[in-house]
């Protein structure tokens, strides 16, 4: 327990020192504001490009509130959101291993399980908070900027936050695993991003889509409370498995050091 508390506090200090809080929160808030603002400005942009016909502009610009909110998840989160998470956290363990920062705590009896669990809990909370703030920011501005359609119920928004958070926690855990396997954090980030981007392909196959984490984003973008028991439990199982795998690998690294 002592190791867990020490590393949890250490991650708070490290996140402040490396501006991880600022980067993650500001980046996701930026994504939340991007679509509403660009969509609102799009008619003016189209007019300046030579398209004057109102019906043409209306056909090119999406103004439905629910569609714009869904766009945040299916466009911004699936692309830039993934890149933010993997590259902010791609050196979460590789740097400490390369610089042998674990040698002293391991020599004093620190446990690999406490280190992994502290990092997992801390950054899971950061991810959940960032996603919640981003989605509610998007919800607020879409509602006041646009008039077509209606924003989803708050319960549906909370459900979508749960689904998106689970997806990004899984992405974080996958990135942590790769940071244990590769000395260079950039390599871990690139591979984690590729895995998540390529997962969009099997997520289109009906028979297996419930077992693909990307399916959580697809469901979240609809802002509906539906039966997602199997996908949620599947991703939770993946996260738990990754926790145990990461602990096992870090223990092996401990022996090597």
Q: Are residues 82 and 76 in contact, defined by beta-carbon separation less than 8 angstroms?
A: no
Q: What is the pTM of this model?
A: 0.91
38-86 pLDDT tens trace: 878 776 666 666 555 544 444 445 678 888 899 889 989 999 999 999 9
Instruction: Take residue 240 and report the two structure tokens written for it.
Output: 């738990």
124-163 pLDDT tens trace: 999 999 999 999 999 999 999 888 888 899 999 999 999 9
Higher pLDDT, 232 or 52: 232
Higher pLDDT, 217 or 48: 217
- pLDDT at position 46 is 61
The span from the CA of 252 to the CA of 99, in Å, is 16
* Best CA proximity match to 193, nearest among 211, 179, 205, 175: 175
Q: Are residues 145 and 36 in contact, defined by beta-carbon separation less than 8 angstroms?
A: yes
3-class secondary structure, 222: coil
10 exposure class (CB count in 10 Å sphere: 0-12, 13-18, 19+): middle
* pLDDT over 90, % of the chain: 58
Q: Are residues 252 and 117 in contact, defined by beta-carbon separation less than 8 angstroms?
A: no
- pLDDT at position 57 is 47
């Amino acid at each position: 327990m002592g190791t867990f508390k020490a590393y949890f506090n250490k991650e708070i200090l490290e996140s402040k020192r490396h501006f991880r809080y600022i980067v993650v929160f500001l980046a996701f808030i930026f994504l939340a504001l991007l679509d509403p603002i660009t969509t609102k400005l799009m008619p003016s942009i189209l007019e300046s490009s030579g398209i004057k016909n109102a019906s043409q502009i209306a056909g090119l610009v999406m103004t439905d509130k629910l569609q714009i909110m869904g766009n945040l998840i299916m466009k911004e989160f699936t692309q830039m959101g993934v890149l933010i998470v993997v590259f902010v956290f791609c050196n979460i363990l590789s740097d400490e291993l390369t610089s042998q920062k674990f040698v002293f705590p391991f020599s004093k009896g620190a446990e690999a399980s406490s280190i992994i669990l502290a990092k997992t809990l801390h950054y899971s909370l950061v991810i959940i908070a960032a996603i919640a703030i981003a989605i509610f920011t998007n919800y607020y501005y879409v509602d006041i900027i646009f008039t077509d359609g209606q924003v989803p119920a708050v319960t549906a928004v909370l459900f979508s936050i749960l689904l998106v958070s689970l997806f990004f926690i899984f992405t974080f855990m996958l990135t942590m695993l790769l940071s244990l396997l590769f000395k260079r954090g950039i390599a871990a980030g690139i591979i984690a991003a590729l895995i998540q981007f390529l997962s969009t392909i099997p997520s289109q196959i009906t028979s297996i889509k419930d077992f693909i984490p990307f399916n959580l984003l697809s469901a979240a973008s609809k802002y509906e409370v539906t039966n997602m028991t199997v996908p949620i439990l599947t991703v939770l199982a993946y996260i738990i498995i990754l926790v145990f795998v990461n602990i096992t690998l870090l223990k092996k690294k401990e022996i090597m050091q």
